Amino acid sequence: MSEVAKDVRSSSSSNPLLTAIVTVPSSIVLSALVVLFFLIAAIVPSVLSTHSAFDTDLLSSLTPPAADHWLGTDEIGRDLYSRIVWGTRGSLLIGLGAMAVALAGATVLGFTAALAPRWVAEPVNRILEILLAFPTLLLALLFVALLGPSATSLLISVGLGTTPGYARLIRAQTLKVKQSGYVEAARALGHSWQTVFIQHIAPNAFRPLVGLVALGIGQSVVWASGLSFLGLGVAPPSPEWGALLEAGKANITVAWWLEIFPGLAIVLVALSFTQIGQYIQDLAEGNTR
Amino acid sequence: MTTESETSIPIIDKPAAGKKLLEVRGLNIWFTGQNGERKHVVRGVDLELRAGQCIALVGESGSGKSVTARSLVGLVGDNAIISADTLALEGETLLGRPDSWWRRVRGARIGFILQDALVSLDPLRPVGKEIDEALWLHAWGTSHTRREKVLQTLTQVGVPEPELRARQRPGELSGGLRQRALIASAIALHPDIVIADEPTTALDVTVQAQVLSVLKQMLGRGTSVILISHDLAVVAKLADVILVMQGGEIVEAGPSGQVLGEPQHPYTQQLIDAIPSEHTKGSRLSARGGVFTHQLFAPPSKPFSGNESPLLEARNVVKSFRGPDGVRRTVVKSVSFTLGRGETLGIVGESGSGKSTLARIALSLEKPDSGEVRFLGEAWSNATSAEQLKIRRSIAVVYQDPLSSFDPRWRVSRILTDAIALGDPKHARRARERAAELLETVGLTAAHLDQWPLRMSGGQRQRVAIARAIATNPEVIVLDEAVSALDVSVQAQILDLLSDLQTQLGISYLFISHDLGVIHHMSDRVLVMQNGVAVEQGNADEVFYSPCHSYTQKLLESLPRLEYARLRLAASSR
């Protein structure tokens, strides 16, 4: 860290983030490559896929991984590798969307719980505590039950399911920043509460969340796939990863690859986002104090 | 005594000095950084400690005094390289000793007292156990005799009701008792040598006096003491020999009366001159020149006229808080004061006296339960927040810890331009230019604009904080322990800067400090607080020279003063 610090001082106008990128550990580079692969898969799947995701080929059904079908085929001969590639968009979108929903909800609830007058903040707080008592999956299930199974409802459900945790975090950060010396100094200087909030409280309360967002995307992908696997999200003909798992479980005794590879995709995405999130978080903390 | 001989070997011409306990010749210590570069922190230190003697290592932070002391108990750390011609305890070398050897020495032959008892003592263990463990580690006695010994040691360091105190945890003891318990654990085995690293630094002045008397008694019983301190006045009370350190080197050494009375080295002279006290009032403390205010500030708007209402006026301010135990405590009890234009009102008191709460009320960051503070005759503490916003620009604040008062995402330029835009919107367009002028006013340069406060020194940060405070052209600045965390020579510069700004800009100060010397140096009038009550208030010289209230008298008696050393020297030389 001290090396980075020195560089920052010598070229004080350059972005400290840029300087730090030069000294990135290899695990982060690897994670970034994985994320890049899946991002390409999500945006232009045709570049990476070898077959169509939906073309059936009954002659080569349930073939194990081989040269022409890298990750094997399913019971009606669809190429698994291509299905995973084509399913990326759905899975990632649900992950990103769920994170966005969670963040939006958590921001409103977290700031309210920390800054609103007591008679508003206290009930919000109690509700958050009650919601936190439910496991995330159970909470998401509840919302799916209310909204009906579909990609959109999956996104909203996972988002709402993870909201209470983030809300509590934002609340705690806000309370901490609110009591900090610089907030008091800004008030003493004569800034209005609104300015203090925009200039100091909001950005500083969000600072540690930057890393958590990346972490949360990976997590959301896992939750969403889990729900799809239970048959509560995207239905099987779609190549969404959870749906792939759900479809493959009927043949698990004869075709292990149908469960292993989609599972691996989920693990890789979650792990990479977590690694990157963790790294950003460390970077942000090292940059402050 | 020539300048050359001072830098080599301390001459100890004390006839009573007993046998040689510690001998250090040519001690060098380097620290290895993460990147493998070496930092030379102690350079060629020589010292000698004889039985029954007290030597003091004096210097500012980073002078190498603590590292030197730690090398005598083998606690310098793994990343340090130590070399010395001689480093011996009663003839046995201390170099290259294994940990097991050090464990037998520490406590038994050399006791080590650290600065902060709250950190050094295990918070979950009764202090009696702590002392008991020191004995047990060295296989001293049986559990029964150890118990006796614990109580005896606690009595020895002046802890009342030792049986009760031995069962209490550090958190349940007051600062003074805690520090004495720590001393007890260090001297339980009657080590010949006790090293005390800033033993009174975190303590209130009355508590400091108690701890110093305990150390004095130890000396009387024949224990040798190595005292490490930045406070020359504390050192003057105890030390036979003073070694002044700067940048890892001993720049001056000699009998304490001589070093303090006729300092030879300019650095020693500078350290002594930098101490604020009643004698320095109205004079400069640092060798640095004055500052220029660039004529960028409006001259004091209205000259003070007798019938004008005071800038700040507090009337019977009362404030209470509910503690964690649910009990309501009144921390400020009906305090009144006035602050006139261009004047400095010093508020002095020990920790918990309510002076910081009073400052927050004066800043309208806290609303008083009853009573009020008025600004130029207008409602201030009890005004609506919209009205307060207008007045806020006229009342600035500087805190003890400037770093925490800066947003960690902001560089110096942003910190200042933000305040400038707030003070006078018409400056906003050339805010950066003005920020540079402000920095020059407080003794920094425009080059500091792009710095992160985190990477600046304590003195520089405090200068930035002062620059921010004057950016809005305030009439009053509340200084809440603003110089308390600074080294004495930096403190001297900051105090000079504040004086200069006051003369040139006509700002009034509400100066809050626990340090009586600083308060006397800066203040026109003084308010003494004890347990939330303003026990005495009046002209600074009157309060300090003829205090009426018993608490003020007690405070002043407890204050170690350098003048005693000077007087003693004068008397002995006659």
| Inter-residue contact B245 to B61 (CB < 8 Å) | no
Average pLDDT over residues B135-153: 88
pLDDT at B18 > cutoff 80: no
Contact call for residues B277 and B562 (beta carbons, < 8 A): yes
- Decide which of B456 and B2 is more confident: B456
Question: Does the pLDDT of residue B187 top 50, yes or no?
Answer: yes
Task: Return the DSSP state at B23.
Answer: E
Chain A contacts of B422, Cβ < 8 Å? 189-191
The answer to which of B4-13, B178-187, B246-255 has the lowest mean pLDDT is: B4-13
Residue B295 has pLDDT above 80, yes or no: no
**Range with the poorest average pLDDT among A221-230, B261-270, B303-312:** B303-312
In the predicted structure, residue B215 carries a pLDDT above the cut 90: no
CB–CB of A191 and B422 under 8 A?
yes
| Number of helices followed by number of strands (H, E) in chain A | 14, 0
Q: Look at A1-5, B63-67, B331-335 and tell me which has the smallest mean pLDDT.
A: A1-5
Are A184 and B405 inside 8 Å of each other by CB? yes
In this structure, what token pair is assigned to residue B165? 């105190």
pLDDT above 80: residue B7 = no
Give the one of A2, A13, A289 whose C-beta lies nearest to B408's C-beta.
A289
Q: What pLDDT was estimated at residue B484?
A: 84
Q: How far is A107 from chain B (nearest CA, A)?
A: 20
Task: Indicate the burial class of B160 (C-beta count within 10 angstroms; 0-12, 13-18, 19 or more).
Answer: exposed
| CB-closest option in B401, B409, B472 to A190 | B472
Interface test with B, best of A12, A23, A189 (most B CBs within 10 A): A189
**How far B413 CA lies from chain A's nearest CA (Å)?**
12
How far apart are the C-alpha atoms of B234 and A95, rounded to whole Å?
64
Residue B466: which pLDDT band, with cuts at 50, 70 and 90? very high
Asked whether residue B307 carries a pLDDT value surpassing 60, the answer given is: no
Cross-chain Cβ contact A189/B34 below 8 Å: no
What ipTM does this complex have? 0.76
- Report CA-CA distances (Å) from B413 to A202, B421, B431: 21, 12, 9
Amino acid B564: pLDDT: 45
Burial of B305 (0-12, 13-18, 19+ CB in 10 A): exposed
A78 phi, psi to nearest 5 deg: -80, 140
Which among B363, B365, B406 is the nearest to A182, CB-wise?
B406
In tens digits, chain A (289 residues) has pLDDT values of: 343 344 334 444 456 666 656 677 888 889 999 999 999 998 998 888 888 878 888 888 888 888 888 888 888 888 889 999 998 988 888 889 999 999 999 999 999 999 999 999 999 999 999 999 988 888 888 888 898 888 888 889 999 999 999 999 999 999 999 999 999 999 999 898 999 999 999 999 988 787 788 888 888 888 888 888 888 888 777 888 888 888 888 888 888 898 899 989 988 998 898 888 888 877 766 554 3
Q: What percent of chain B has pLDDT over 70?
A: 90
* Distance, CA of B319 to CA of B503 (rounded, Å): 34
User: Is B455–A5 a contact, with Cβ atoms under 8 angstroms apart?
Assistant: yes
> What is chain B's mean pLDDT, rounded?
84
What is the residue type of B306?
G
Q: Are B256 and B236 in contact (CB under 8 A)?
A: yes
User: Which has more pLDDT, B114 or A42?
Assistant: A42
CA B204-B206-B208 angle, to 5 degrees, is 65
Cβ separation of B365 and A200 shorter than 8 Å?
no
- Identify the DSSP state of A157: H
Q: What is the pLDDT of residues B519-548, one digit of tens each?
A: 999 999 999 999 899 999 999 989 988 899
Angle, alpha carbons B503-B507-B513 (nearest 5°): 100
pLDDT of amino acid B507: 92
Query: CA neighbours within 13 Å on the CB side: how many for A176?
Result: 13
Q: What is the pLDDT of residue B348?
A: 92
Q: How far is A79 from chain B (nearest CA, A)?
A: 50
Considering only CB atoms, which chain B residues are within 8 Å of A2? 33-35
Q: Are A167 and A109 in contact (CB under 8 A)?
A: yes
- What's the average model confidence in pLDDT over B447-470? 91
Give residue ranges of A with CB < 8 Å to any B CB. Answer: 2-3, 5, 8-9, 12-13, 180-182, 184-193, 199-200, 203-204, 207, 288-289
